[in-house]
Amino acid sequence: DGGITQSPKYLFRKEGQNVTLSCEQNLNHDAMYWYRQDPGQGLRLIYYSQIVNDFQKGDIAEGYSVSREKKESFPLTVTSAQKNPTAFYLCASFPQDAYGGYTFGSGTRLTVV
Amino acid sequence: AQSVTQLDSHVSVSEGTPVLLRCNYSSSYSPSLFWYVQHPNKGLQLLLKYTSAATLVKGINGFEAEFKKSETSFHLTKPSAHMSDAAEYFCVVSDGYGGATNKLIFGTGTLLAVQP
C-alpha cells in the first residue's frame, strides 16, 4: 500500500540534544511538508519542499532543519536551538500536478525529558 | 490573508443524532476549503474538499459540507453520528487553488465526542 511512514512513533529527547524525525513516502509525490501540532493550536507549518534538493521555511522554522536528498525522504532535525520542542510532528505529501488534500503520516510524538 | 475559525472547540452528541461542526473562513478570493479528521495519536485524513465546483460537497463516512459564500461558512454535517466518529476535526483553507505551491491554514480543531 502507498503511504507515508513516520518513525519513530514516540521519541524522547534530553535538553541540548539534536534529534531527527524520519518521513518516507512511496506515493511518488513531489511536495512534502512538516507540521507541528500543539493542543488547541491546530497545525503550523515548519518546512516544506516542492522538489528534491530544495526546501522552504514555513511559519515556525526556527530551531529546525531539513534535507531533501531523495524524492521519497524528508527528514526533520529538531535542534537544541528549539526552545519548546515537545509536540506532535506530522509529515505530509502532495502530488505536484493535483489540487486537493494532502496525505499525512501517522505522526511522531516528541517529548523533552 | 486567509484565516479559518472553528466556532466550537468541543461538541458532544448522542449516537444516532445529527452532527454539526461549524467553520467560518476569511479569504480575499474564492478559497479552497477542506475538512480533515484526526483520531487520537494518528495522522490527519481528508474527509472532503471544496474547490469551486458544487457548493454541497459529499465526503467519506457520510459527512458533507456546504460552502456558503454569503455567510463565509463551510460547516460539516452528518445526519446520524456513530461511535467511530469520535475524533478531532479540522477545517482548513488554502491560500490558492489547493495545489502543492499553496499553503494550508488550519483551524484550531473541534473535538467531537459521541455518547452511547
Q: Which residue has the cell 478559497?
A: B31
Q: Which pLDDT value is given to residue B100?
A: 54
Chain A residue numbers with beta carbons less than 8 Å from the beta carbon of B108 are 40-42
Probe site for chain B from A89, A102, A108 (most B CB atoms < 10 A):
A102
By three-state DSSP, how is residue B27 classified? coil
- Closest residue in B to A31 (Cα–Cα): B100
Per-residue pLDDT of chain A (113 residues; tens, 9 = 90+): 668 999 999 999 888 899 999 999 999 988 899 999 998 788 999 999 988 999 999 999 999 999 999 999 999 999 988 889 999 999 999 876 555 678 899 999 999 88
C-alpha cell at A55: 526546501
**Residues in B touching A104 (Cβ below 8 Å):** 36, 43-45
| DSSP β-ladder status, B64-68 and B73-78 | antiparallel
Measured CA distances, B6 to A28, B20, B89, B99 (Å) = 33, 11, 9, 23
Is the preceding omega at residue A8 within 30 degrees of 0, hence cis?
A: yes
**C-alpha span between B97 and B93 (Å, rounded):** 10
From first CA to last CA, the distance across chain B in angstroms is 41
Mean pLDDT across B84-90: 96
A76 at B interface, C-beta within 8 A: no
> In percent, how much of chain B has pLDDT > 70?
93
pLDDT, average across residues B99-103 = 63
Grid cell for residue A27: 506515493
Which residue in the set A6, A50, A88 is minimally distant from B100, CB to CB?
Answer: A50
**Quick one: three-class SS letters along A14-68?**
CCCCCEEEEEEECCCCCEEEEEEECCCCCEEEEEEEEECCEEEECCCCCCEEECC
Strand partners, B72: none
